[in-house]
A and B are shown apart, each in its own frame.
Chain A
Amino acid sequence: AQKVTQAQTEISVVEKEDVTLDCVYETRDTTYYLFWYKQPPSGELVFLIRRNSFDEQNEISGRYSWNFQKSTSSFNFTITASQVVDSAVYFCALSPRTNAGGTSYGKLTFGQGTILTVHP
């Protein structure tokens, strides 16, 4: 069984502060994918980043960066110089490797979400 835990229910920051969203996961799969999604007040799910379990290289993409540590089963997401428009619910999600004809068809397991509020 897969499980994703986002311990931070709500985070409040002032614009231009950096903010890190924590994500811890559990899985028995040796190959899996990790995702971060943003859900603004309008309700849609916006894809942010995807990482493979076999690639622990951390990257920066604009104001976003992520820290994947397989040893601690964590996949944390950082927004640098936060802006008011970053205010949203952020979800971490986990998917097994799709194995058509086998046992997995790539369903996503989401965490509970972290509500991020960025104040001007």
Chain B
Amino acid sequence: EPEVTQTPSHQVTQMGQEVILRCVPISNHLYFYWYRQILGQKVEFLVSFYNNEISEKSEIFDDQFSVERPDGSNFTLKIRSTKLEDSAMYFCASRGGQAVVYGYTFGSGTRLTVV
């Protein structure tokens, strides 16, 4: 079964550093998402990406964050100048199309720890 692949599985970074979280969505999917889950809390929507541009973003997704699909296969989330409160699990997801049969597929997540 096709999978969404996220790398790395765990990243530790120093406060103020930039990090790039990488995702390889399912190849024929059209919609791409990033979600965040702070430890012990609910999963929160960050951003959706469709047709090579951001289609929707939450209030969490401020100027510190950016997304890119640089080569048609990878989908990256960049966090500039990380803060302690950015420590969380970050999930990438992709979806094939609009119809109901196209469910979400989540990656296994990247646990980001900012120290």
Which residues does B use to contact A, with CB under 8 Å?
A: 31, 33, 35, 41-45, 48, 50-51, 55-56, 58, 89, 91, 93, 95, 97-98, 100, 103-106, 108-109, 111
What are 19 sample pairs from A and B whose C-beta atoms fall under 8 A apart?
A33-B100, A43-B89, A43-B108, A43-B109, A44-B108, A45-B43, A45-B91, A47-B103, A47-B105, A98-B31, A98-B97, A98-B98, A100-B50, A106-B48, A107-B58, A108-B45, A108-B93, A111-B42, A112-B41
In the complex, the chain A residue whose C-beta lies closest to that of B106 is A45
User: Which residues from chain B contact A104 at a C-beta distance below 8 Å?
Assistant: 56
Q: A52: CB under 8 A from chain B?
A: yes
Which residues does A use to contact B, with CB under 8 Å?
A: 33, 35, 37, 43-45, 47, 50, 52, 91, 93, 97-100, 104-113
> Chain B's interface: helix, strand, loop or mixed, by majority?
strand
Asked if A43 and B111 sit within 8 Å, CB to CB, the answer is: yes
Asked if B45 and A109 sit within 8 Å, CB to CB, the answer is: yes
User: Which residues from chain B contact A91 at a C-beta distance below 8 Å?
Assistant: 42-43
In the complex, the chain A residue whose C-beta lies closest to that of B55 is A105
Most central of B35, B55, B56 by chain A CB within 10 Å: B55
User: Which residues from chain B contact A52 at a C-beta distance below 8 Å?
Assistant: 100
In the complex, the chain A residue whose C-beta lies closest to that of B44 is A110
Q: How far is the CB of A95 from chain B (nearest CB, A)?
A: 8
Q: How far is the CB of B40 from chain A (nearest CB, A)?
A: 9
In the complex, the chain B residue whose C-beta lies closest to that of A111 is B42
Most central of B35, B48, B56, B100 by chain A CB within 10 Å: B100
Known interface pairs A43-B89, A109-B45; 18 further A-B residue pairs with C-beta atoms within 8 A, sorted by A's residue number: A35-B104, A43-B108, A44-B106, A44-B109, A45-B109, A47-B103, A98-B98, A105-B50, A106-B98, A107-B33, A107-B45, A107-B58, A108-B35, A108-B45, A110-B43, A111-B42, A112-B42, A113-B42
